[in-house]
Chains A and B, each alone.
Chain A
Amino acid sequence: MAQRISVDISRRGDNEPDGSFNCPACGQRLNPGELAENLKVCPHCERHLSLTAGERIGLLADEGSWSELSASLRSADPLEFFDLRPYFERIEEAEYDTGLTEAMLAGTARMHKMEVVLVVMDFRFMGGSMGSVVGERFWRAVEHAIETRFPLVAVCASGGARMQEGMLSLLQMAKTACATELLSEVPVPFVSVLTHPTTGGVMASFATLADVIMAEPGALLCFSGPRVIEQTVKEKLPEGFGRAESNLEHGQVDMIVPRHELKDRLVQVLGMLEGGVACALQPLWEEEAGPPGGGGALAKAFGRIKSFANPSRRPPQG
Chain B
Amino acid sequence: MPTLPGVHLKDEITKISQRLRELGGAGERRGRSDAWEKVKLARHAERPYTLDYIEQMFPGFIELRGDRCFADDPAIVAGLAAYQGRTLMVIGHQKGRDLSSRTYRNFGMPRPEGYRKAQRLMRLADKFGIPVLTLIDTPGAYPGVAAEERGQGGAIARSLVTMARLGVPTVAIIIGEGGSGGALALALADRVMMLENSIYSVSSPEACASILWKDAAEAELAARALMLTSDDLDELQLVDAVLPEPRGGAHRDHAAAARIVKEALEDSLRELELMHPQERRRERFEKFRRVGVWREDGLTLF
Q: Which residues of A contact B (CB under 8 A)?
A: 1-4, 72-76, 78-84, 131-133, 135-136, 139, 143, 161-163, 165-175, 177-182, 199-201, 203-209, 221-224, 228-229, 232-233, 235, 237-238, 241-242, 246, 250-252
Q: Is the CB of B184 within 8 A of A252?
A: no
* Cross-chain pairs A/B with CB under 8 angstroms, 20 sampled: A4-B211, A73-B296, A161-B202, A162-B202, A166-B201, A166-B227, A167-B201, A167-B226, A167-B238, A170-B181, A171-B292, A173-B156, A175-B288, A205-B156, A205-B160, A223-B141, A229-B148, A238-B145, A241-B145, A252-B154
Secondary structure of the A contact surface, majority rule: helix
B15 adjacent to chain A (CB < 8 Å): no
- Which of B153, B187, B212, B293 has most A Cβ within 10 Å? B153
Decide: B153 and A172 in contact? CB cutoff 8 A.
Answer: no
> A143's closest neighbor in chain B, by CB?
B2
What is the interface of chain B, defined by CB distance below 8 A to chain A?
1-2, 20, 24, 141-145, 147-154, 156-158, 160-161, 164-165, 180-181, 184-185, 187-188, 200-203, 207-208, 211-214, 221-222, 225-228, 232-233, 236, 238, 284-285, 288-289, 291-297, 300-301
B147: chain A residues at CB < 8 Å are 223-224
Shortest CB distance A299–B (Å): 34
Q: Which residue of B lies closest to A102 (CB)?
A: B294
Number of residue pairs spanning A and B whose beta carbons lie under 8 angstroms apart: 208
Please state if B211 and A1 are interface contacts (CB–CB under 8 Å).
Answer: yes
**Distance between A57 CB and nearest chain B CB, rounded to angstroms:** 22
Given contacts A3-B212, A237-B145, 19 further A-B contacts (CB under 8 A): A83-B212, A83-B221, A84-B214, A135-B291, A163-B202, A163-B211, A165-B293, A166-B227, A174-B188, A175-B289, A175-B292, A178-B160, A178-B284, A181-B164, A199-B153, A208-B153, A228-B143, A228-B207, A251-B151
Q: Which chain B residues border A74 with CB–CB below 8 Å?
A: 294-296
Determine the distance from Cα of A201 to Cα of B160 in the docked complex, in whole angstroms: 12
Give Cα A255–Cα B152 distance, bound, in whole angstroms. 19
Which residue of chain A has the shortest Cβ distance to B150 in the bound complex? A250
Query: What residue of chain B has the Cβ atom nearest to residue A205's Cβ?
Result: B157
User: When the two chains form their complex, are residues B292 and A204 in contact, meaning their CB atoms are under 8 A apart?
Assistant: no
Name the A residues within 8 Å of B24 (CB-CB). 80
A73 pairs with B211, CB closer than 8 A: no
Shortest beta-carbon distance from A197 to chain B in Å: 12
Q: Contact at B148–A208, with CB atoms within 8 Å?
A: no
Instruction: For residue A273, give the distance in angstroms from its CB to the closest CB of chain B.
Output: 18
Q: Which residue of chain B is the closest to A232 with respect to CB atoms?
A: B143
Given the known interface contacts A1-B211, A136-B292, A163-B203, the answer about A204 and B153 at a Cβ–Cβ threshold of 8 Å is: yes
With A223-B153, A224-B148 as given contacts, are A175 and B291 in contact (CB-CB < 8 Å)?
A: yes
